[in-house]
Amino acid sequence: MDRLAFPSSLPSFSESAPRALAGRLFETRKLSVELAAPLTAEDMTVQAMDDASPTKWHLAHTTWFFETLVLAPHLVGYCHFDETFNYCFNSYYEGLGPRQPRPKRGLLTRPSLNRVLAYREHVDHALMQLFEQDAASEPAWACLIEIGVNHEQQHQELMLTDILALFAANPLRPAYRAAQPRSTQARREPPRWIDFPGGVRQIGHDNVGFGWDNEKPRHDALIHPFRLADRLVTNAEWLEFIDDGGYETAALWLSDGWAAVSREDWRAPLYWEPGDGAWLGMTLEGLQPLDLDAPVAHVSYYEADAFARWAGKRLATEFEWEIAATAARRTGNFLESGASRPMPAKGAPIDQPRQMFGDVWEWTQSAYLPYPGYRPPEGALGEYNGKFMVNQHVLRGGSCVTQRRHMRASYRNFFYPHQRWQFMGLRLASDID
C-alpha cells in the first residue's frame, strides 16, 4: 500500500480555516489506505453479502465522490481519471447516471487494485491543486470538502464492518489484526437506572460545526418522563435470553421479526458460534472467546425489540437517547482506542449513563423519518439521506469502529430492521409511571 503518496506539505494559506480543512481532508484520505493495509488484493475485491461492499470499491467510491462532486465542477481544467469509473463507483445517485448493481460490486475484478490506488493519487493531487487555486480566500467549495471528509469517515467504518463480514464467511476465520490480551475477570454488574424528566425539549443539530441534513432542523419535541439503563446490554444478559427460549417464543417478537427468525433460523447474534462448552464470537481479531461483560453486538432491530420485551422494558426513542447523551462527554470506545470490538463498561458516577458513545450503535424504537420542516439539499446531495426515510429505524451513538470526531449527540444512523452486520446493540429504557 506504500505506492500511494500523499502531499508532504500543504499550501501556505493566509487564513487558517482552509489550511485546517486541507489537513482534515488529507488525514482522512490517508487513513482509508492505512485501514486497508493489512488486507491482500484478493481480500479487497470480493464481498460477503449484498449489504457489504469490497474494500477496493470503498477506496474508489470515496475518491469518485471528490472527483464528481468537488473537482469536476470547481477545478479549472480538471481531467477525469477514467470516464468508466462513474458507472463502476457511483453508489446510489440516480441523478448521476447508471451504476454497477450493489449486490454485484464484488464482480469488479477490474479495475485492478493498483489502478484504484493510482485513481486515489490522481484525485488527491487534484484536490491539492484546488486548494492552491483558491488559496486567497474561503473557497465556495469548502462545504463540499467537509461533506466529502465526513462521507469518507462513514466508509472507513463500513470498510471494517464489511471485512469482518467477509472474514466471518471464510472457513479459515482469518484475523484482520493480531489479537490483543484482554482481561477475563467477569464483573456481572446489574445496570443502574437513571431517571430523566419530561417536558418540551430541543432536538436536532444546533448548527455549530458539521451536521448532516437529516439532523436538521432543530425543533421542539414533547418528552414524557423516562428511565434509561446506565449501560448497554451485555453478552451475558443475551445468553440468559437465549437460555430462556428467547428465539423460540413467538410472543416476544414482532410479526416481521418472527418471520425473520423462522426464515433465517436465527438462534444467536450474528457471528456467534458454539464452541467447546462456551460461545465464540468472530471479531476483527479472528474467532475469539465471547467476552460476557462486553456489549452484545450484531443484533437486528427485531432481536433488540424482542429482548427488551423479554426483559420487561423497551427501547428508547431517538429523542430520549439524544437528551440523555447531550450532557454526556463524547468519550468512549471508538476506532481511536484500537480495541476494534465492544468493550465492557467502565465505572462512572451513579447519575451518569455510560457507553453513550462508541462500542455499538444503539437501536432506538424510532422510525427513520424527516424532522418537521426538513428539506433535502438541492442536486445530487439531496439523494444522500432524504430518499431513505422509510421502513428503517434510527440508531445512535457510534461504535468501536466509528471515529470519535465523527460522532455527536444529534447524529442519526439508520438501517433496516433485519440488518445486523454492523456493530449494532441496545440499551434498555422504560416509562416512569
| Residue 136 and residue 70 share a domain | yes
Kindly report each contact of residues 347-352 with a partner whose C-beta sits within 8 Å and lies 24 or more positions away, as own/partner.
348/230, 350/192, 350/230, 351/194, 352/194, 352/230, 352/328
| Residue 266 and residue 165 share a domain | no
Which of 132, 154, 169 is the endpoint of a domain? 169
C-alpha cell, 58 = 470503498
Split at pLDDT 50, 70, 90, the class of 328 is confident
φ/ψ of residue 312, rounded to 5: 75, 20
Mean pLDDT, residues 112-116 taken together: 97
Domain assignment present for residue 286? The answer is yes
CA distances from 306 to 211, 291, 394, 431 (A): 32, 22, 17, 17
Write out the residue range of the structural domain in which residue 259 sits.
Answer: 193-431
CA 23 and chain centroid, separation: 23
| Residue 252 and residue 139 share a domain | no
Domain assignment present for residue 1? The answer is no
| Residue 249 and residue 331 share a domain | yes
Give the predicted TM-score (pTM) of the model: 0.94
Mean pLDDT, residues 172-177 taken together: 96
d(CA 160, CA 276): 28
C-alpha cell, 422 = 454492523
d(CA 219, CA 201): 8
Residues making up the chain, counted from first to last? 433
Contacts of 233 (CB under 8 A, 6+ apart): 295, 296, 307, 425, 426, 427, 428
C-alpha cell, 167 = 472474514
Contacts of 13 (CB under 8 A, 6+ apart): 19, 22, 131, 135
Domain assignment present for residue 176? The answer is no
Would the pLDDT of 419 be above 80?
Answer: yes
| Residue 273 and residue 231 share a domain | yes
| Residue 357 and residue 238 share a domain | yes
pLDDT, tens only, 3-34: 444 444 444 444 457 888 999 999 999 999 99
* Overall domain count for the chain: 2
Residue 1, pLDDT score:
42
Residue 185, pLDDT score:
59
Domain assignment present for residue 22? The answer is yes
| Residue 163 and residue 197 share a domain | no
| Residue 87 and residue 27 share a domain | yes
Residue whose entry in the numeric block shows the C-alpha cell 465492544: 342
- For residue 368, how many C-alpha atoms fall within 13 Å in the half-sphere facing its CB? 23
Residue 348, pLDDT score:
64
Domain assignment present for residue 188? The answer is no
| Residue 206 and residue 147 share a domain | no
* CB neighbour burial string for 46-68, b if at least 16 within 10 angstroms, e if fewer: bbbeebbbbbbbbbbbbbbbbbb
Domain assignment present for residue 178? The answer is no
Find residue 425's DSSP bridge partners.
362
Residue 400 sits in a domain whose CATH number is 3.90.1580.10
To the nearest whole percent, how much of the chain has pLDDT over 90? 85
Would the pLDDT of 175 be above 60?
Answer: yes
d(CA 245, CA 252): 10
d(CA 154, CA 251): 37
Split at pLDDT 50, 70, 90, the class of 288 is very high
For the chain, give the secondary structure using H, E and C.
CCCCCCCCCCCCCCCHHHHHHHHHHHHHHHHHHHHHCCCCCCCCCCCCCCCCCCHHHHHHHHHHHHHHHHHHHHCCCCCCCCCCHHHHHCCCCHHHCCCCCHHHHHHCCCCCHHHHHHHHHHHHHHHHHHHHHCCCCCCCCHHHHHHHHHHHHHHHHHHHHHHHHHHHHCCCCCCCCCCCCCCCCCCCCCCCEEEECCEEEEECCCCCCCCCHHHCCCEEEEECCEEEECCCCEHHHHHHHHHCCHHHCHHHCCHHHHHHHHHHCCCCCCCEEECCCCEEEEECCEEEECCCCCECCCCCHHHHHHHHHHCCCEECCHHHHHHHHHCCCCCCECHHHCCCCCCCCCCCCCCCCCCCCECCEEEEEEECCCCCCCCCCCCHHHHCCHHHCCCCEEEECCCCCCCHHHCCCCCCEEECCCCCCCCEECCEEEECC
Which of 169, 185, 210 is the endpoint of a domain? 169
Least confident of 183-197, 233-247, 380-394: 183-197
Q: At what angle do helices 142-169 and 16-36 cross, to 10 degrees?
A: 10
Report the greatest alpha carbon distance in the chain: 66
| Residue 210 and residue 144 share a domain | no
pLDDT, tens only, 182-213: 765 566 788 999 999 999 999 999 999 999 99
Domain assignment present for residue 184? The answer is no
Find the Cα–Cα–Cα–Cα dihedral 142, 146, 147, 149, rounded to 10°.
Answer: 130
**138 against 295, higher pLDDT:** 295
Residue whose entry in the numeric block shows the C-alpha cell 477475563: 184
**359 against 15, higher pLDDT:** 359
d(CA 302, CA 297): 13
Residue 312, pLDDT score:
98
Mean pLDDT, residues 171-191 taken together: 83
d(CA 92, CA 89): 9
Domain assignment present for residue 371? The answer is yes
| Residue 200 and residue 131 share a domain | no
| Residue 381 and residue 271 share a domain | yes
